[in-house]
Structure 1
Amino acid sequence: MNKQIPRRSGGRVARRAARLAPLAQDVRPVRAGLEGGAYRPLSDNDMQRIHETALQALEQIGLADAPQSGIDLLTAKGAILGEDGRLRFPRELVMDALALACKDITLPGRVKENDLQLFGNRVHFGTAGAAVHMVDVHGRNYRESTVQDLHDAARICDQLDNIHFVQRPMVCRDIVDSRDLDLNTIYAACSGTTKHIGTSFTDQSFVADALEMLHMIAGGEAEWRERPFVSNSNCFVVPPLKFATDSCQVMEACIRGGMPVLLLSAGMSGATAPSTIAGAITQATAECLAGLVYVNAVAPGHPAIFGTWPFGLDLRTGAMSVGSGEQALLSAGCAQMHKFYGMPGGAAGGASDSKMPDMQAGWEQMCSNVMAGLSGLNMVYEAAGMHASLLGFCHESLILSDDLIGQALRCVRGIEVDETTLALDQMHEVCLGGPGHYLGTDATLSRMQTDHVYPTLGDRTSPKEWAELDKPDLIDKAIARKNTILSEPSVAKFGPELDHALREKFKIYLPA
């Protein structure tokens, strides 16, 4: 009979202390850039047909309403301007642009540890959108969003491990002047987080001012161009198959200023895009291919994210259905097309049609976040905090989404199968003269943090324990976490000299 050797308690104490210490980035159970791609709703033949149809649409239909600068750039590369004013794109022109396109993009943070590597099936989750309201969970109503709300959202995101980037999720409705709005959006976000930031611009003429601000924050133009920590989210098309004239001019200015761009095609399935999932993906693919030709006509190899963002529509009412299964399929299918071209890409996931962070929001947010992650979508935009079909943003929901995305990332990580994880040696140890269970074994304890994701706010207590703890409410816990984060100084806060210089140069609305 095997004789058990008593274990020394000191070893267990040391292991417990090690478990309480923060985990290094490379051994965390989930982290930015995990490899997805296991879920493939489109077959290889499906993707080829979408590609061929998109090329036909570009050759036969083309896009209208390009600015004159775009017409000049694109026709010089081989696009054909028809008598109807539409630019048509020969197959060879599109394929040449794909060959020139940047296939491996780094989106820098203001600190290097927040850099995002976009290639293959690496998955990242973050915020995005242009919500015009904030969700008030106390009064169960909506109010207009402000620059303070944006700054607070950036500060919260900076403290959430599973939010990897911060694209502006809301509009500062308290700033009327468009130039001030664009510049204060950058200031509020950059002073709240050191993660990569996405923003947009109302007018081409504002880009130079924004770049001047970013040069000041970066320490100079050369430093900015070396590590551009803000990208331009650019709605360069107005679906179906029309260029957004002003946005195209903004895009040209951003590219020349060294700013990465997100080529964002956001058709509404059944309204501004075909109602079928395959048709909506095809049109978005065609539009983004045209955008890719445009970008590479301005600057070959400039970093551009393939932003196919078709949205679902409730055909009974005409309302958006961003929380639907159809939306999850749209984004997952788009992720496959990004891989078909070898392009870094992004799409929407994790938004809800629900007005509050309730059960409906939970199932809607998890459905599309998991499917987007499993499909290997590089950038899952609007993944946290977004409600009311993109009209409302919620700080508490943003915090709860950190838990939700943690579980989604664990699904993305998948199942590792090797000699260690098959655990035959553990079965021998436990079953042949051992304790008959795996609780407390060295193997279990050694992997409890690296293999398992534990919720920060989610409740796994028994009903008895829950009652003894005075029945804690999830929303109340999120409010408490928000208040704790916002009570502490922002780690991204500008130094006094830089902040003074920015306020001297630009009209800053946030209190000093």
Structure 2
Amino acid sequence: AGADAGRAAIERTPAVVSLINCNSPLRWDDRMLDAQFEYCAANQPVVLTPFLLMGAMSPVTIPAALAQQLAEALAGIALAQLIRPGCPVIFGSFLSNIDMQSGSPSFGTPESAIGLLCTGQLARHYGLPFRTGGGLNSSQTADAQAAYESLMTLLPTFLAGTNFVMHAAGWLEGGLVTCYEKFIIDIELLRELRVEFTPLEITEESLAFGAHEEVGHGGHFLGAAHTMERFRTCFYRPLLSSTANFERWLRLGGKDATARAGEIWRATLDGYEAPPIDDAIQAELSEFVTRRRRELGD
């Protein structure tokens, strides 16, 4: 009875979201479908995602890749509704291209950004929530390439109105590794984009005509009442970025963004306090992990 109550509860209020990848081109394989059948039968949402690298798993042209992506995703979504009508689904997109000189996957490319923006339009046309985007890049370290390629994906992610994002922070080397410094850099980007995409409030206070009356012609607004009331919160305050001049930056150690990001994540981990958990639950979790390791031969 307890198990039935638990199953009924999560069917009413889903507890997990599962990623189901199409084995592109045009194949949903047994392992993915087995998982989809179980999740959909339990009314748990699935993110049905074709994984397309143009030139390898789809044609090299963006329209062809978009058509293939849509066909694969809608096939998975239709199957979900056959398994359990009305079960929640998310239209997934993971669309990029390969380097035609080496065959390596490329991320943070202009083609990926275009495909991402088009996917948003297609998802809205069909009335589907959609997953895409992230802080994707191909760089081997947390450098300028990692930053600009990630922004090339994160910016269109916001512009497309994406509903569900995976890999938003920490992605490096084409997704082969997670990097703590890169995680902090991405958090800075995400914080900035959140401010950039917050709608403006146009009010008498924000138009600040009174500040012009106070300052007059040729004055400055540093000491104006409007400024003094808002200076603590009026602008975005960086987590990572430095605004010091070169001489002060040198006096502070001459640390670049990656070095500063390293200091931030180490301080964050040092100050971390684990949330409280009941001793009996902790013991049950530990027993489960030990048992599964034994069963899996780990």
Q: Is the shorter-chain TM-score for this pair beyond 0.5, marking a shared fold?
A: yes
Deviation of 1:445 after TM superposition, in Å, equals: 4.2
Q: Are residues 1:453 and 2:218 paired?
A: no
Structure 1 equivalent of residue 283 of structure 2: 500
Q: Which of 13, 24, 29 is the matching residue for 1:239?
A: 24
Q: Which amino acid aligns with 2:161?
A: G
Structure 2 equivalent of residue 346 of structure 1: 131
Q: Which amino acid aligns with 1:260?
A: P
Structure 2 equivalent of residue 33 of structure 1: none
Q: Which amino acid aligns with 2:255?
A: P
* 8 Å Cα contact 1:266-1:309 kept in structure 2: yes
Structure 2 equivalent of residue 333 of structure 1: 118
Where in structure 2 are there 5+ consecutive unaligned residues? 294-298
Alignment of 1:307-318 (within 5 A): 307-318=92-103
Deviation of 1:419 after TM superposition, in Å, equals: 4.5
Deviation of 1:430 after TM superposition, in Å, equals: 2.1
More helix by share: 2
Alignment of 1:244-263 (within 5 A): 244-263=29-48
Post-superposition CA distance 1:125-182 (Å, at most 9, x none):
xxxxxxxxxxxxxxxxxxxxxxxxxxxxxxxxxxxxxxxxxxxxxxxxxxxxxxxxxx
Q: C-alpha distance in 1, partners of 2:181/2:54?
A: 30
Q: CA RMSD in A?
A: 2.6
Q: Which amino acid aligns with 1:388?
A: E
Structure 2 equivalent of residue 387 of structure 1: 172
Structure 2 equivalent of residue 484 of structure 1: 267
Alignment of 1:391-410 (within 5 A): 391-410=176-195
Post-superposition CA distance 1:54-111 (Å, at most 9, x none):
xxxxxxxxxxxxxxxxxxxxxxxxxxxxxxxxxxxxxxxxxxxxxxxxxxxxxxxxxx
Post-superposition CA distance 1:170-200 (Å, at most 9, x none):
xxxxxxxxxxxxxxxxxxxxxxxxxxxxxxx
Deviation of 1:221 after TM superposition, in Å, equals: 4.3
Post-superposition CA distance 1:217-253 (Å, at most 9, x none):
xx95455445444311111x21111112220111111
Q: C-alpha distance in 2, partners of 1:416/1:350?
A: 29
Q: C-alpha distance in 2, partners of 1:253/1:490?
A: 36
Change (3 A) 1:503 1:220: farther
Aligned with 2:91: secondary structure? strand
Structure 2 equivalent of residue 468 of structure 1: 251
* 8 Å Cα contact 1:323-1:365 kept in structure 2: yes
Aligned with 1:240: secondary structure? coil
Change (3 A) 1:450 1:317: same
Change (3 A) 1:449 1:318: farther
Q: Which of 139, 147, 150 is the matching residue for 1:362?
A: 147
Post-superposition CA distance 1:252-304 (Å, at most 9, x none):
11122342211111111121112111221221111111111111111222121
Q: C-alpha distance in 1, partners of 2:269/2:131?
A: 30
Structure 1 equivalent of residue 296 of structure 2: none
Q: Are residues 1:230 and 2:16 paired?
A: yes
Alignment of 1:186-335 (within 5 A): 220-221=6-7, 224-235=10-21, 237-335=22-120
Percent identity, aligned pairs only?
27
Deviation of 1:315 after TM superposition, in Å, equals: 1.9
* 8 Å Cα contact 2:147-2:185 kept in structure 1: no
Change (3 A) 1:311 1:423: same
Structure 2 equivalent of residue 436 of structure 1: 219
* 8 Å Cα contact 1:260-1:303 kept in structure 2: yes
Change (3 A) 1:277 1:489: same
Aligned with 2:77: secondary structure? helix
Deviation of 1:450 after TM superposition, in Å, equals: 5.2
* 8 Å Cα contact 1:349-1:380 kept in structure 2: yes
* 8 Å Cα contact 1:328-1:349 kept in structure 2: no
Q: C-alpha distance in 2, partners of 1:487/1:407?
A: 25
Deviation of 1:311 after TM superposition, in Å, equals: 1.8
Post-superposition CA distance 1:327-350 (Å, at most 9, x none):
111112111211112211011332
Aligned with 2:86: secondary structure? coil
Q: Which amino acid aligns with 2:44?
A: M
Q: Which amino acid aligns with 1:269?
A: M
Q: C-alpha distance in 2, partners of 1:477/1:450?
A: 23
* 8 Å Cα contact 2:110-2:152 kept in structure 1: yes
**Number of residues paired by the alignment?**
290
Deviation of 1:352 after TM superposition, in Å, equals: 0.9
* 8 Å Cα contact 2:143-2:258 kept in structure 1: no
Q: Which amino acid aligns with 1:452?
A: F
Aligned with 1:311: secondary structure? strand
TM-score scaled by structure 2?
A: 0.87
Q: C-alpha distance in 2, partners of 1:275/1:341?
A: 25
Post-superposition CA distance 1:10-63 (Å, at most 9, x none):
xxxxxxxxxxxxxxxxxxxxxxxxxxxxxxxxxxxxxxxxxxxxxxxxxxxxxx
Structure 1 equivalent of residue 156 of structure 2: 371
Alignment of 1:71-150 (within 5 A): none
Q: Which amino acid aligns with 2:19?
A: S
Alignment of 1:9-20 (within 5 A): none
* 8 Å Cα contact 1:369-1:380 kept in structure 2: no
Q: C-alpha distance in 2, partners of 1:333/1:400?
A: 27
Aligned with 1:230: secondary structure? coil
Change (3 A) 1:448 1:225: farther
Q: C-alpha distance in 1, partners of 2:14/2:223?
A: 48
